[in-house]
Structure 1
Amino acid sequence: MAGTTLPTPIYPLYADRMHFTVLTTTVIYATYAGGVLVALVLFGRWSDAIGRRPVLWAGIGFAVASAAVFLSADSVAVLLVGRVLSGLSAGLFAGTATAAVIEAAPPSWRGRASSVAAVSNVGALGIGPLLSGLLVEYAPEPLRLSFAVHIVLAVLAAVAVAIAPETSPRHGRITVQRISVPPEVRPVFLIAAVAAFAGFAVTGLFTAVAPSFLANIVGIDNHAVAGVVVGSIFAVSAVAQIVSTGLAPERAVAIGCAILAAGMVTLAVALHLSSLIGVILAAVISGVGQGISFSRGLAAVMERTPTDRRAEVSSTYFIVVYVAIALPVVGEGLASQVWGLRAAGLNFAVIVAILATMCLVAILTREARDARREISA
């Protein structure tokens, strides 16, 4: 998973060499989400039928192919191909690796296995830009070394998968993942999905555009610093997801939305003042809000979903998430062409803050209505 965010600190170097704008950067980044969506819909149920290991090996194969493409990238078209392959790898890993970790856990670890899988997933997204930022800034071959390291890590992962036992009973058949939400779940799903959309739009913004914010607005072009900023939002998101597991799901989503809105206010102020500390603080606050609202939103939805419909509902939820990673970020790129990067970032922050606040108000309204019903009953 670290490979999916590995290119982030390298995008400014590609932009300088290939002479493209922030808009092109956001399109290159968002192409990854398309690969993820294809993998989720077409291959999301394959590991149940053919086993976890073959699908994990396929994901590793796509990851290695992506890194190999980036090693030889000499045009925007090649970068797009690399991102699609990276998205396919992430789409295969996301559900399959999580299921494998949970199934492989001994009974004493069953309660913690899902948290281990979540932290591995989100934490790795933070490790990617941190690793490449350090290598780009302080090591030779800034356009290639990070991807060579990624190939080595992927080969080690393939060996680990070969050693690990198969955990799937191989039930079911190969089908396309159905996408739907039962009527009784839709009110909660709508609120949780909008909260997740807002949160992942922010992570997409930082992953695609944070290096440009730092270089063009704050005046800092250190790639390691860019890696730290992007990595921090995923690191605190992982911690927040663990810490918030004891909170009631809907109330936790409300708390997460409030924190996310505060993070966007902080980002707007930071961009206005060209403040590095402000951008870092915005990443940390937003990461907390995103982590809580995403994980507990999914929990709220799963609580109300019949067992036999959970796969399709969770897939629908993740499709919303990956659309959020792509579309708003491309919108940010388009806006930067018209208004400039600072104004586009300010408008993005305002829109996300409004979305998060709408979710907060909707949850509080539901709670107040339910409380009145209990009193009248």
Structure 2
Amino acid sequence: MRTRGAVGLVVWIFTVVMLGGTVPAPLYPFYVRSLDLSELQVTIVFAAYAVGTLTALLLGGGVSDRLGRRPVLVLAVGIAVLSTLVFLLAPTLPGLLFARVLSGLSVGLTTGTATAAIAELHPDRRTATTLATVANMGGLGLGPVVSGLVAQHLPGPTVGPYLAFLVLLLPVLAIGLVPETRPRTESLAGAMRPQRLSVPRATRARFAAAAVGGFAAFAVLGLFTSLTSSFLGQELGDPGPQLVGFSVAVMFAAAVACQLLVQRWDPDRAALVGAALLPTGTALVVVALAVGSLPLFLLSAVVGGAGVGFSFQSAVSRVGGLASADERAAVTSSFFVVAYLGITVPVVGVGEIATATSLTTAAIALAVLVVVLSAAAALLTRRHPTPVRG
């Protein structure tokens, strides 16, 4: 297979696996009705995805460096298929939790492996980075759109979207034609070992600046992804999966656009813009919930998504420059562990508050947290700027 075709196939697999991570987002109202789920249970199901991703980072970080890119991509797709089968065959609360963990595991294995494969296959590093960025966040944004459209217009709203996902995975059958860019050096048993987490002492302050920003960005991302269906259901009664999917995708679209824009910016400047946009977006969520305005809620998704794009891409860029090649995997894994904790702990807390009080109260609590975190990230970025490379 020629280079262009190989890159295209890896980008497709990357995009579709990420898409699978957000397929359930527009379907939560159906699960709420059929399983009588509370807001807390919905957010726990959502957060189970991050548990799987963290497991992949901690146990499978760097595994494709030792096993090769193709075997790990095949493994990740196989886990994605298994996750889908659990969604289809066990539509219960335990089934949803297990399926979401598997989905997160698949996404976690795919992210690092596909990003590395694209960089190794494509001759231009900047283009490879752009393709990986679009596949990553773009796939997450496409998931709710595809799922919502299928659920809205075809029978079996909690079946059709998963079948569509399986169809989209079919091109993976050609993975054997993709050149292997990292030959196997170890057996599977030897390659699957815990990823070391560490940050060099001299760079810990700059790491903290990036990690706090990443944590805040993922907390905002989790808020929108997990509770959009609840807001729309509260305000519109039965908005339909198509509208829910579109509303979730708006945030990811804004995040992708800003991730592409920020690649040409100074990372510290981008971090400060993100630190301003994240609390603005959450403040708009609070107002939208209080007045019951869908246009204002969509605006908050755009602003919050822009904040996620600026903050996350800037953080990844800064973290990548904090360590030598030998330490980079440990430092990057440490950052992603902090970031994915942002999509679990605060989001579950929001679900618990929403169950005990109201969505508006829960949003206010998260907004206060995001303000504090964003202020801390901005202060740390100012005090510990990224060195200018001469």
Q: Same fold (TM over 0.5)?
A: yes
Report how far residue 365 of structure 1 moved. Answer: 4.3
Which stretches of structure 1, 4 residues or longer, exceed 4 Å deviation after superposition? none
Q: 1: distance between equivalents of 2:206 and 2:54?
A: 23
Report how far residue 220 of structure 1 moved. Answer: 5.5
Alignment of 1:163-242 (within 5 A): 163-170=177-184, 174=191, 175-217=193-235, 219=237, 221-242=239-260
- Quick check: 2:217–2:307 contact (8 Å CA) kept in 1? yes
- Quick check: 1:217–1:342 contact (8 Å CA) kept in 2? no
Q: 1: distance between equivalents of 2:161 and 2:36?
A: 22
- Quick check: 2:289–2:359 contact (8 Å CA) kept in 1? no
Count of residues in correspondence between the two structures: 365
> 1:253 corresponds to which letter in structure 2?
A
Q: 1: distance between equivalents of 2:202 and 2:151?
A: 50
Report whether the alignment pairs 1:74 with 2:91.
yes
Compute the TM-score of the two structures, normalised by the length of structure 1: 0.93
Report whether the alignment pairs 1:31 with 2:48.
yes
Q: 2: distance between equivalents of 1:100 and 1:338?
A: 46
Q: 1: distance between equivalents of 2:213 and 2:237?
A: 32
Report how far residue 263 of structure 1 moved. Answer: 1.1
- Listed as ranges, the gaps of 5+ residues in structure 1 are 371-377
Compute the TM-score of the two structures, normalised by the length of structure 2: 0.90
Structure 1 residue corresponding to 2:145, chosen from 130, 146, 162: 130
Report how far residue 192 of structure 1 moved. Answer: 0.8
Q: Deviations over 1:271-312 (max 9, x none)?
A: 111110111111111111111111111212222322211111
Q: Secondary structure at the match of 1:250?
A: helix
- Quick check: 2:206–2:380 contact (8 Å CA) kept in 1? no
Structure 2 residue corresponding to 1:119, chosen from 134, 137, 142: 134
- Quick check: 1:194–1:355 contact (8 Å CA) kept in 2? yes
- Quick check: 2:220–2:304 contact (8 Å CA) kept in 1? yes
- Listed as ranges, the gaps of 5+ residues in structure 2 are 1-17
- Quick check: 1:31–1:84 contact (8 Å CA) kept in 2? yes
Q: Secondary structure at the match of 2:81?
A: helix
Who is 1:102 aligned against? 119
Q: Deviations over 1:14-63 (max 9, x none)?
A: 11001111111111111111111111111112111110010000000010
Report whether the alignment pairs 1:274 with 2:288.
no
- Quick check: 2:217–2:278 contact (8 Å CA) kept in 1? yes
- Quick check: 2:52–2:108 contact (8 Å CA) kept in 1? yes
Report how far residue 363 of structure 1 moved. Answer: 2.5
Who is 1:148 aligned against? 163
Q: RMSD over aligned Cα, in angstroms? A: 1.6
Structure 2 residue corresponding to 1:18, chosen from 35, 43, 60: 35
Who is 2:271 aligned against? 253
Who is 1:373 aligned against? none
Report how far residue 355 of structure 1 moved. Answer: 1.5
Structure 2 residue corresponding to 1:352, chosen from 365, 370, 373: 370
- Quick check: 1:265–1:353 contact (8 Å CA) kept in 2? no
Q: Deviations over 1:57-83 (max 9, x none)?
A: 000001001111111233101111111
- Quick check: 2:286–2:364 contact (8 Å CA) kept in 1? yes
Q: Secondary structure at the match of 2:168?
A: helix
Report whether the alignment pairs 1:45 with 2:62.
yes
Who is 2:5 aligned against? none
- Quick check: 1:271–1:346 contact (8 Å CA) kept in 2? no
Q: Deviations over 1:215-243 (max 9, x none)?
A: 11455622211111111111111111111
Who is 2:76 aligned against? 59
Report whether the alignment pairs 1:337 with 2:355.
yes
- Quick check: 2:205–2:380 contact (8 Å CA) kept in 1? no
